[in-house]
Structures are given as C-alpha cells and as structure tokens.
Amino acid sequence: MMAARNSDRRHDRDSVTAAALRLLDDVGLPDLSMRRLATELGIQPSALYWHFDNKQELLGAVAERILARIPASVPDGAATDADVLAAARSIRDALLAYRDGAEVVLSSYALGFGVERTQEHLRDVLGTRAQDAAVAATTLLQFIIGHALLVQQRLHAESHGAAHPDHGDDATGAVSAAFDDGVMLFLHGVDAKVGPRRPL
C-alpha cells in the first residue's frame, strides 16, 4: 500500500510539498487537508508540523512549486509586447496546469507569500518599459491570477453540469484571445490604438 511504502522513508519539506501538490491535483483544494496528506504519506498529522507551522504555510510552498515551472528568462533590452505576453502566458499556463492551482496561488498571494519569484520575474520583464515596474508587475499578476481563476471556476462548473460550454464556438480559443487582449490593454491603455480588436 502507498501509506506503508511511504512510512519507510524519511520526509522533508520538499517531499511533503510535492506530495501535497500531487494530492491537490487528485482531489482538489477543498479535500486537501493535513490529515489526508498525512495519510497519503503514511505518517501522523502532527509530523507535518515539523515542516510547516500551519496549512497556509504548506499551501504557500505548493504555490511556489506551481509557479516554479515558469521560465525565468528576461529579454535583452526593452521588452516587446511579445516578450510581456509570453511571460504572462507562462504564468497563466502554470496556474492552469494543476487542479485549483489558481485558487491556491491566490490564497497564498493574499497573505503575502508564495509568489515572490514570479513578481520579481515580471518586474524584470517590465522594468525596461514601465515607469514603476513593481506596480506594473503587481497589476499584471493580479490580472493573470484572476483570469486563471475564472477559467478554472468555469471548467469546474462545467464538469459538474452547473454550466455548459458555448456551442458552436471555440471556447478555449476565445478565452485565450480574451487573455491576450487583456495583456495588450494593460500595456497600451484603454485609449490606445493597438490594431484591430478581436471579438471577445
């Protein structure tokens, strides 16, 4: 059994975080409890608190792991629209790669941890073109998380029959187009003319 195998080896902060992320993907955030995680690892729940003071600290580590898949490359010279869009897409894709990933990252972000590396990456990308790169990075990150959360909530509702995908439309393509348009709107402003708009 999984619990028996896991109980034979020592766990550290990294292995506990990895197990929590796997469990998140399997059962979702509402069912990711410290007790369930301990059972998965074959240990007593109290043993988890050697590594994390509380569940929110654990979720912060999970959020960091979710966002760790983002490439940290920064363009040479001034970032182009394509550079910023690529950075934004990479964050969105990381959030959507795991069940309830956006919600985990949002809850950690709201408490001030779990997203420091991602914010720094956005600051680096935007730093050559934004007057206040820190504010710009925060604003863009909030848009990205909000968009990903909306997508995941919609997918969750559709999976439970509470909502239905649009018939006759490329729903995924429309959502991606809306995201790209939002990033361009962020970069150029409401009044800017940045070329023909795609229907949302």
Question: CATH number of the domain that 116 lies in?
Answer: 1.10.357.10
pLDDT in tens, 98-136: 999 999 999 999 998 889 999 999 999 998 777 888 999
pLDDT, position 8: 38
Is it the case that residue 25 has pLDDT exceeding 80? yes
pLDDT, position 129: 78
Tokens of 79: 């970032």
161 or 36, greater pLDDT: 36
Let me know if residue 140 belongs to a domain: yes
Tokens of 133: 């790169």
The 10 Å Cβ neighbour count of residue 22 is 13
Least confident of 74-78, 126-130, 166-170: 166-170
Is it the case that residue 3 has pLDDT exceeding 50? no
Is it the case that residue 1 has pLDDT exceeding 90? no
pLDDT band per the 50, 70, 90 thresholds, residue 6: very low
pLDDT, position 11: 82
Note whether 128 and 91 are same-domain residues. yes
As a whole number, mean pLDDT of residues 68-82 equals 84
35: containing domain: 2-52
Number of domains in the chain: 2
Is it the case that residue 92 has pLDDT exceeding 50? yes
Note whether 25 and 87 are same-domain residues. no
Is it the case that residue 64 has pLDDT exceeding 90? yes
Note whether 95 and 24 are same-domain residues. no
Let me know if residue 36 belongs to a domain: yes
Least confident of 64-68, 95-99, 138-142, 162-166: 162-166
Note whether 44 and 86 are same-domain residues. no
Let me know if residue 69 belongs to a domain: no
191 or 132, greater pLDDT: 132
Let me know if residue 103 belongs to a domain: yes
- Closest to 149 in 3D by CA, of 33, 32, 66, 35: 66
Question: Domain with 14 in it: what CATH number?
Answer: 1.10.10
Note whether 99 and 163 are same-domain residues. yes
